Amino acid sequence: MDSSEQDKVDEDFVDVSASANYGGEDGCQTEPTAVSDDKDGGDFVDVEIEKSNEEKEEVMMPPEEEKEEATSNSIKIPEIKEIQEYNNDKDISSPKLYGNARNHYLPAIKSQAHLPKPDPPPLPPPTSTPKGERTQSLSIAETIPSIGKYITERSNSFSEAIVRRLSSLKDDNDMVVKDDSLNFEVTEFKIPGVKVIVKLKTEAERLSLDLRGRVSFFTRSNCKDCTAVRHFFREKGLVHVEINIDVFPKREKELIERTGRSDTPQIFFNDKWFGGLPALMKLKESRDYEAKLKELVGDRCPDVAPAVPVYGVKDEEEEDDDLVETVRYLRRSLPIHDRLLRMQMVKNCFSGVDLLEATIEFLDCSRKKGIMTAKRMGHKHFFHHVFGENEFEEGNHFYRFLEHEPFIMGCFNFRISTNDCEPKSASFLADRLSKLMFAILEAYASDDRLHINYHAIDKSEEFRRFLNVARDLQRVNMKLLAPNERLAFFLNLHNAMAIHAVISIGHPEGILDKRAFFNEFLYLVGGYPYSLNIIVNGILRHNRTSPNSFIRPFSKGDRRLELVPPKVNPLIHFGLCNATRSSPAVRFFTADGVEDELKCAAKEYFKRGAIGFDMDTRTVFLTRIIKWYNEDFGSQKETLKWVIKYLEPTQSGLLSHLLADDDDEINVIYQDYDWSGNL
């Protein structure tokens, strides 16, 4: 800045005298102060100015001053074109440099609102840039429009560059197009530095745009024809509504009223009944398939068509137990205390004498009827003997309500209180559980049942209804099931609990997680707790120890021993899925065909790679499941002879060739087990 310009600035601004005294009388550094004619004082702001070339001199600063840092609330902007960008209400007095110009930041005093505002200084010539630049603090809100404008301009420029490049490639016949002659769904353009992928609509998507109606069909769980219809609509990409009458049992009445029959599948296009699988295959094979489909569902669906199933509605009938009023009275009136019995503390128990007296008082009945009523309540698992000795006997015995059992809070089918409804038939609940789980697999598992969508299951209506069935198991009488029904029920319960455990507590990743997954995730069934370990080793394996354990699941006198099968069936290990990749595929069983279904499961598992051969070294590679449960299969040679029955002809021939030579030993190596989840 030359001398003429400096004089002009000095005339327009009010002088501010500043002094810097480094080393006063007491030898201490004195901070510079600003003095103004404004006696009322004012707020200080920091203003940064740039020294002119004449003022850029090397000045030695005291050591103490080198440590100081100039602070400012302003943001330094590279260039400010106009001094008028300052707010009008912040007129700043012209500062004078300190005597030695050692500090770039000068405190300036804001003018007071009641004082007259000075005129702004004249603008510098447009061609010349003032050497003394002032900075102004800009808020984030003020800078956002500029940033947005910059991004928009750059995006537009980038888009225009892509279009120009595409046009030039098209003109020069230099376009690289990647497509399959059998699949024109995606066309790919390759440009240096840019990759543009255009996804064309599929035939099903184009067709669905013209279909404004609704495709609905009634199905049942575990039905092959229903599965074929479901796959057809999925392959064609047609939006459809499935009404599974095993999931929504009340819709079966509607099916009979509309079609006059109860067999499935039955397909509806809008409100018109079309037929079953044969009619659908005939439509598929016709030449004008698309034209007929547009004719059937081209119009909007009328209100009289089969309605979409309503989710979250409780439409299953329940009735209270005939003893529930008596039980509720006993819960309120009995003295429940912690007692020291047989050298151990028993919590929340009551005496049988008090129970009998309260029952007689409430029913106003004879002692004999009171004893019979108490035995019925014990038989229905409203309460248990604290040591499991009896259902109810008159005398000095102590009992505990089911909701006070120490294991109850670990049961995942227990909700705040026990289910006081009349227990449903065990056969009905076993059948209902299997049908719901079949429906879940058909909707949320891969075709080979090796991968499960647990997140979708958790949000599904089928799983919500399964949880209701699981709650009905709390006081069911399991002794009424036939042996085949019991075997199928526990196989299904194990696989259903494994799915529920993954959803609730996650897949096991370490030793502690495995303990929680297999031992601490419980269901309350028939008044007693069941974990995955108890179902496998206690029930299905006839109370045998689990791998790496020396303790049997059931102690002597445990009432759950009444449910174990007479002998162990080794095939059960190929029907149990523990949600890992090396376990057999998840499946559910029917009471009538459980034996044949287990054989199919074993054949499928060995076909998947559970056995391998190295004929040169006479080695057989077997699944580690057989090693863990070798007690169920027998000796090594007996195991190989048992396995050969469930192998394919090629594998069976190889194993037979190895077993034919009795002189040479067969080496058995067990495969590694993959504990990762079957997601």
Amino acid, res. 342: R
Specify the pLDDT at position 13: 42
**262 in helix, strand or coil?**
coil
Specify the pLDDT at position 290: 82
Specify the pLDDT at position 299: 86
Specify the pLDDT at position 43: 42
Specify the pLDDT at position 208: 56
123-150 pLDDT per residue, tens: 555 544 444 444 444 444 455 566 667 7
Which class does domain 203-297 fall in? alpha beta
Torsions phi, psi for 55 (to 5 deg): -90, -5
Specify the pLDDT at position 415: 83
Which distant-in-sequence residues (6+ apart) come within 8 Å of 140 by Cβ? Answer: none
Domain locations in the chain as residue ranges? 1-137, 139-200, 203-297, 324-406, 426-594, 599-670
Specify the pLDDT at position 236: 83
Residue 477 CB: number of other CB atoms within 10 A?
A: 15
- Average of pLDDT values for 305-317? 84
425-454 pLDDT per residue, tens: 999 999 999 999 999 999 999 999 999 999
619-646 pLDDT per residue, tens: 999 999 999 999 999 999 999 999 999 9
- The correct answer on CATH 1.20.120.420 for the domain covering 324-406 is no
Specify the pLDDT at position 188: 58
Counting every residue, how long is the chain? 679
Q: What is the pTM of this model?
A: 0.70
- Average of pLDDT values for 49-65? 44
How far apart CA 300 and CA 379 sit, in angstroms, is 57
Region of poorest pLDDT, from 199-203, 231-235, 255-259, 674-678? 199-203
- The pLDDT mean for the chain works out to 80
Specify the pLDDT at position 406: 94
**57 has pLDDT over 90:** no
Q: Residue 421: which of 324, 486, 487 has the closest Cα?
A: 324
**184 in helix, strand or coil?**
strand
Q: Which residue has 């509605």 as its token pair?
A: 313
- Average of pLDDT values for 468-477? 95
Per-residue burial over 437-459, b if 16 or more Cβ lie within 10 Å, else e, is bbbbbbbbbeeebeebebeebee
- Average of pLDDT values for 339-345? 93
- Average of pLDDT values for 41-51? 43
Q: Are the folds of 203-297 and 324-406 the same?
A: no
Beta strands in 408-544 (DSSP E): 523-525, 528-530
Rounded to the nearest 10°, the torsion over CA 214, 218, 223, 225 is: -50
Q: Residue 398: which of 357, 352, 333, 359 has the closest Cα?
A: 352
Which distant-in-sequence residues (6+ apart) come within 8 Å of 373 by Cβ? Answer: 323, 326, 359, 363, 365
Which distant-in-sequence residues (6+ apart) come within 8 Å of 288 by Cβ? Answer: none
